[in-house]
Amino acid sequence: MRINLWHYSNRRYRMQGTRYILSEYVEQAMAQALYDKLEDSTFSGRIPVCKGVVAFGTTLHQCEDELRSTLEDWILVGLKFGHTLPVIRGIDLNKEPTREPMDAL
């Protein structure tokens, strides 16, 4: 599923140029991730605003990678089935996307 034509051009992102909305959404969600070291020395991670997005790993880095992958899948499933996704830092994936004209590519 290619969604790379969606972009977010809010005033606070203008200095960075056009940002891809899904990439920015993932980054902002990951910035809210919480991690715990478990009794068996493995790690758990979750993103409280994204209900059900939880991951585990033997290292913190592996847990973070798993959490990012879980989040990406969670977003795509939510979009496919029309679930309401949380608005994160002003990024609302529930709105109809704007698309660039093909001649702009």
Q: Which DSSP symbol is given to 88?
A: B
pLDDT in tens, 10-57: 434 333 444 688 999 999 999 999 999 999 999 999 999 999 999 999
pLDDT in tens, 69-88: 999 999 999 999 999 999 99
Contact between 86 and 50 under an 8 Å Cβ cutoff? The reply is yes
Domains of the chain: 7-82 (3.30.160.250)
Least Cα distance to 53 among 75, 25, 38, 28 occurs for: 75
Beta-ladder partners of 19:
8
Instruction: Pull the structure tokens for residue 25.
Output: 């959404």
Residue 100: predicted pLDDT: 73
Rounded to an integer, the average pLDDT of 93-99 is: 77
The pTM for the full model equals 0.74
